[in-house]
Amino acid sequence: MRMPTLKIKRLVFTADGLNLYEIEDSFIVTDQRQHILKESKKIQICQIYISKTIASRKAAERYAIEEINKSKV
């Protein structure tokens, strides 16, 4: 879902292309293209979502590197 016109109060933080914004009465996580990935009333839920997403990306990257290294041998 693309980010509609929201009243964003502030950017809380950015991590690995994910942005956490505080809006009127909740928090949202967006990607680099400003698509809403997660919305929650609690900031902790969005922070957990970001942590799990980054961990998943790192695991996928490690797996891909291992597969490339196996194919070279």
For the chain, the straight-line distance linking the first and the last C-alpha, in angstroms and rounded, comes to 43
> Tokens 């942005």 label which residue?
19
Cβ-Cβ contacts under 8 Å for 7 (sequence gap 6 or more): 23, 24
- The span from the CA of 51 to the CA of 38, in Å, is 13
Name the band, by pLDDT with cuts 50, 70 and 90, for residue 9: confident
Instruction: Provide the pLDDT for residue 53.
Output: 96
At 9, which amino acid appears? K
At 16, which amino acid appears? D
Q: What is the pLDDT of residues 10-51, one digit of tens each?
A: 999 999 999 999 998 999 999 999 999 999 999 999 999 999
